[in-house]
Amino acid sequence: MDSLGIVFPQYWLQENVDSSFSAHLSILKDFFGTPKPCVNVEGDGDWVTQLLSSADLDSQMAMFKMAMKSNSKGVLTPPFTVNPMTKLWQILGSNALLVHAFIEYFKVARMAMTIVLGSVEDERAFSTVGFIKGKLRNKLGEHLPLCVQMFTQKFYTLKNFPYTEAVQAWRANKHRYCMNLQ
């Protein structure tokens, strides 16, 4: 399921994205782009059609890559009024030409937004985070899922988190709250 990451804006800010994209696209084509035998009680040998067209993914790849590279950085800058992935696909979906230009990748995005990506993996990954355990974790309350998501998607690291922008956005908010987490 790591291959579904190609539709996330964070994916396109990595180094060597072109080589990893080729590998991830190949996995998606193998998994979703080939008919699968239907396993049923009768065992009559029915086949389930593929969800994605491998040929369309290949033909639409250049336009998709160009759109993702040019829009990903912009949606990952504050203010974060909407989830960056949602914001990115709203921008791309608002242009009918782009929707038509890489419709198969819109299908991949819908699948990535629909498939529940391992909450067990998220919880396991979050449990290993040594800097946030015990009381602090319990105090996160409703923000815990966001922290887990940001950690597992490598949304920010301690080095590249925009601290000044976050403080400015917090100060600009009319209803500010500060909590002593110690």
The domain locations on the chain are 1-117, 119-182
* pLDDT at 152 (0 to 100): 63
The model's confidence at residue 182, banded by pLDDT at 50, 70 and 90, is: very low
Q: Per residue in 7-42, pLDDT tens?
A: 999 999 988 898 899 999 999 999 899 888 776 656
Furthest-apart CA pair in the chain: how many Å?
65
pLDDT of residue 102 exceeding 90: yes
Q: Full-prediction pTM beyond 0.75?
A: no
Averaged over 72-83, what is the pLDDT? 86
* pLDDT at 25 (0 to 100): 94
For the chain, what percent of residues have pLDDT higher than 70?
71
Packing angle of the helix pair 119-127, 144-152 (nearest 10 deg): 90
Averaged over 120-126, what is the pLDDT? 59
* Phi, psi (deg, nearest 5) at residue 36: -120, 145
DSSP code, position 40: -
pLDDT of residue 155 exceeding 50: yes
More confident residue, 2 or 105: 105
* pLDDT at 167 (0 to 100): 76
Report the distance separating Cα 10 and Cα 7, nearest Å.
Answer: 9
Mean pLDDT of the chain: 80
Are the CB atoms for 121 and 83 separated by under 8 Å? no
Beta bridge partners of residue 47, listed in sequence order: 37
Cβ contacts of 19-24, under 8 Å, gap ≥ 24 = 21/65
The model's confidence at residue 140, banded by pLDDT at 50, 70 and 90, is: confident
Packing angle of the helix pair 54-75, 17-32 (nearest 10 deg): 140
